[in-house]
Amino acid sequence: MNWIESIVLVAVLALVAFAFYEGFVHHRKEPCGGCPYAKNCSGSCAKKEKCEER
Amino acid sequence: MRVALVGNQNSGKTSLFNCLTGSNQKVGNWPGVTIDRKEGVIKGTETILVDLPGIYSLSPYTSEEEVSRKYILEENPDVIINIVDATSLERSLYLTTQLLELDCQVILALNMCDILEKKGISIDEKELSKNLHMSVVKISALKNMGIQELINLLKSEEILDNKHQKIYEDPIEKAIEKISSQLNDLKHKRFISVKLLERDPLLKDKETENIRHDITECEQAYQLDMEQIIANQRYLYIDKVKQTCLTKTPVPESGTDKLDKIFLNKWLALPIFALIMALVYFLAVGVVGSYTVELISGEGGIITLFQNWLSEFLISNEVSEWLISLICDGIIAGVSSVLGFVPQLIILFLCICLLETSGYMSRIAFLLDKLFRSIGLSGKSLIPFIVGSGCSVPGIMTCRTIEDETERRITIMLTPFMPCSAKLPILTLFAGNFFGEFAWLATVFLYFLAILTIVFSSLVMKKWIFTEKGSAFISELPEYKLPSLTYVLRDVGEKTFAFIQRAGTIILFCSVVVWFLLSFSWKLEYGVAIEFSILASIGKGLAWLFYPMLGTLSWGSAVSALQGLIAKEQVVSSMAIIAGLFEETADATIFAGNGIFSFFTPASAYAFMVFNLFSAPCFGAIGAMKRELGSVKRMLQAVLFQTGIAWVLAVLIYQIGHFLEMMG
């Protein structure tokens, strides 16, 4: 394995890991995971129990 | 200090919230934009401002009313800013009369004062303040007028105390006093007393025999239902207040009135709506789509050139064959097949945003109210459908504005039928390849097919599943507005960015998984013929389900359609990767020559489009359905119903289309 191949492989792995984290993990950790109104939301609707009440 | 922002739907609450806090919450020229509360800090202060959903009263008829009422009664804000549309004071003050019954300071913010003169309306705010005994500020959230005065008033703490004006006739006032005296340590005694008289379902536990007796006495005296008596007397009081502080002079017909004569004309309204929607798809799919997809991801397109260059670069540097295949045939092929549709989506987002913010979409809701009511829905259901044409998730969440439970459930189940932005790549790909210059017509027909399917499905559900009566659509028609350029650009920008973000995350990751499943066999041998790959064997197990709508056993189409559950764009991405690996040529297009998808005919292509349009939405939307329907069972019913309808429609379309193809 030459050095270019090593760099490409690392870059691809990093990209795939980033895509997985951002696409499937990150937004679920955010308040109101997946809620389109969560952006800029600093309110208590961010709390899990409040979301469940809805 | 906590301040709550309370007002009718479409009174400008979110615009005022944005003005006061400097945030960028979504605003819209239709009722029901805010479906949950939002918080922010008022600029230059430490005061927390809470934006509550739009309500017409504090009776718990809708979930927004429940959210607002619960917040006001349980979390006791220090001050309430009651934002009212100054151009329709009478309707707006109905909520004010209820807020005046609370033990809390209330500021009346008369919004839209910038257009009062144009409408020939003059409001004496000092007189209004004296009458209601509350602080009144004239503002325009849109023009940023009077906002500083409002902040100064909040800072000064010179807000008039709520004096609990006596607005009802003596028998009612006596009953209120009597109930109040029994509610010892409670806050908002007057409010609760009135609500008890109104037989408020949420206060059932506080109802006593004495109260029931008082209600019966009043009802016998007035020969009306108690809720009606209270509402009538509130309106009488509002009328009295209005006479002292509001003057109206006749003005020439407004632009909105003139436009409504055309857009709401009995005969022209529906054809105009059809024409507008046709124009939207003609612009997005016909004009822009005809060359941008080629320019971006076609044979000589930017992405294909980059893919070829990268492939040659990696080959010349002796990078392993599998890694080159992963990058070029997997990641780039998968992501670019979706990114190619960005220009069309920008046009679609722009058109929908202009229609929404101008006030036209509210007219459509009004227009279709009668038709929708005849099938068990109402114009209110149309708002989720409109929002759902961007993305089903917020569309499904907007269903909270519907108070009738049956109607709400039906709307939740039917909202994913609208062609959302993620489905557009599927529609455009097939329409562009099989219907040439009529591609836009094929997509606009699908839009109307979606409406017809909603109507038909609603009738079916109403007849056999839900049998309760529907609700009436109570909403006002907003003024036509010239959309703000900043807002339109921000809205289109945010939606486009979200689409690109999905392509760079979910679609990219799925492309790698699809490439892996296509490049390896169950024994994990790399480089096996695609027919012996893991994905092919899964697809072969499902292909028979698609046979009646495709006329052939296509494992590639089956697994691609299945991936629509992750994200609808993934259908296109998966087909691009499968076609690329099958053809083994760099410039292979999805439906090329002897490729794996070359069997598609216009009939099977249209059937496959229809199946993907109406079948179960992506997991995000399924999750939203589960939350809003409140149970896994109902969510599964919805998913099965949607997929069933999609399958039947697709099969019908293929069989009819195939018959026509055979005939001529």
Tokens matching residue B138:
């004239």
CB contact under 8 A, A45 and B37: yes
**Choosing among A6, A21, A39, A49, which should be mutated to test the B contact, i.e. which has the most B CBs within 10 A?**
A39
Q: Where are the alpha helices (DSSP H) in A1-54?
A: 3-20, 27-29, 48-53
CB contact under 8 A, A19 and B508: yes
pLDDT in tens, B299-354: 777 888 888 899 899 999 888 989 999 998 889 988 888 888 888 888 888 888 88
Using CA atoms, how far residue B366 sits from A14, B278, B382, B459, in Å, is 51, 20, 9, 20
* Chain B residues 596-625 within an 8 A CB cutoff of chain A: 620, 623-624
Instruction: Please tell me if residue B497 touches chain A, with a CB cutoff of 8 Å.
Output: no
Q: Which of B48, B68, B70 is nearest to B56 (CA)?
A: B68
The number of domains in chain A is 1
Query: Which residues are CB-contacts of B449 (< 8 A; sequence separation ≥ 6)?
Result: B610, B649
Characterize B547-568 residue by residue with b for buried, 16 or more Cβ atoms within 10 angstroms of its Cβ, and e for exposed: eebbbeebbbbbbbbbbbbbbb
Among the four given CATH numbers 3.30.1390.20, 3.40.120.10, 3.40.50.300, 3.60.21.10, the one describing domain B2-156? 3.40.50.300
Q: How far is B506 from chain A (nearest CA, A)?
A: 5
Provide CATH code, domain B170-248.
1.10.287.1770
Nearest-Å Rg of the Cα atoms of chain A is 18
Instruction: Please tell me if residue B314 touches chain A, with a CB cutoff of 8 Å.
Output: yes
Going by the DSSP 8-state scheme, the letter that residue B288 receives in this structure is I
Residues of chain A positioned with their CB less than 8 A from the CB of B506: 19, 23-24
What ipTM does the predicted assembly reach? 0.70
Residues of chain A positioned with their CB less than 8 A from the CB of B23: 40
Instruction: Please tell me if residue B490 touches chain A, with a CB cutoff of 8 Å.
Output: no
The residue with greater pLDDT, A46 or B213, is B213
The predicted structure's pLDDT at residue B466: 62
Using CA atoms, how far residue B256 sits from B252, B358, B400, in Å, is 11, 11, 29
Q: How far is B302 from chain A (nearest CA, A)?
A: 21
Residue of chain A nearest B319, judged by CA positions: A5
Q: In angstroms, rounded to a whole number, what is the distance separating the alpha carbons of residues B574 and B576?
A: 5
Cβ atoms B541, B562 nearer than 8 A: no
The predicted structure's pLDDT at residue B259: 87
Using CA atoms, how far residue B582 sits from A15, B53, B432, B590, B598, in Å, is 25, 53, 22, 10, 11
Q: In angstroms, rounded to a whole number, what is the distance separating the alpha carbons of residues B587 and B316?
A: 19
The predicted structure's pLDDT at residue B468: 54
Residue of chain A nearest B40, judged by CA positions: A42
Tokens matching residue B634:
């109902």
pLDDT in tens, B419-438: 888 898 898 889 988 998 88
Q: Which of B57, B382, B396 is nearest to B227 (CA)?
A: B57
CB contact under 8 A, B393 and A36: yes
Average pLDDT (B54-81) is 79
pLDDT in tens, B533-562: 999 999 999 999 999 999 999 999 999 999
* Chain A residues 1-54 within an 8 A CB cutoff of chain B: 1-2, 4-5, 8-9, 12, 15-16, 18-20, 22-24, 34-37, 40-45, 54
Q: Which of B156, B154, B161, B140 is nearest to B16 (CA)?
A: B140
Which residue of A5, A40, A45 is in closest CB contact with B24? A40
Residue of chain A nearest B322, judged by CA positions: A9
Residue B123 has pLDDT above 80, yes or no: yes
Residues of chain B positioned with their CB less than 8 A from the CB of A34: 393, 620, 623-624
The predicted structure's pLDDT at residue B645: 94
Confidence of residue B26 (pLDDT cuts 50, 70, 90): low
Its domain, for residue A11, covers: 3-53
Instruction: Please tell me if residue B2 touches chain A, with a CB cutoff of 8 Å.
Output: no
Which residue of B35, B38, B319 is in closest CB contact with A8? B319
Phi-psi region of B49 (alpha: psi -120 to 50; beta: other; left: phi over 0): beta
**What are the domain boundaries of chain B?**
2-156, 170-248
With 0-12 CB in 10 A as exposed, 13-18 as middle and 19+ as buried, what is A51? Answer: middle
Question: Do the domains B2-156 and B170-248 sit in the same CATH topology, yes or no?
Answer: no
Q: In angstroms, rounded to a whole number, what is the distance separating the alpha carbons of residues B291 and B460?
A: 41
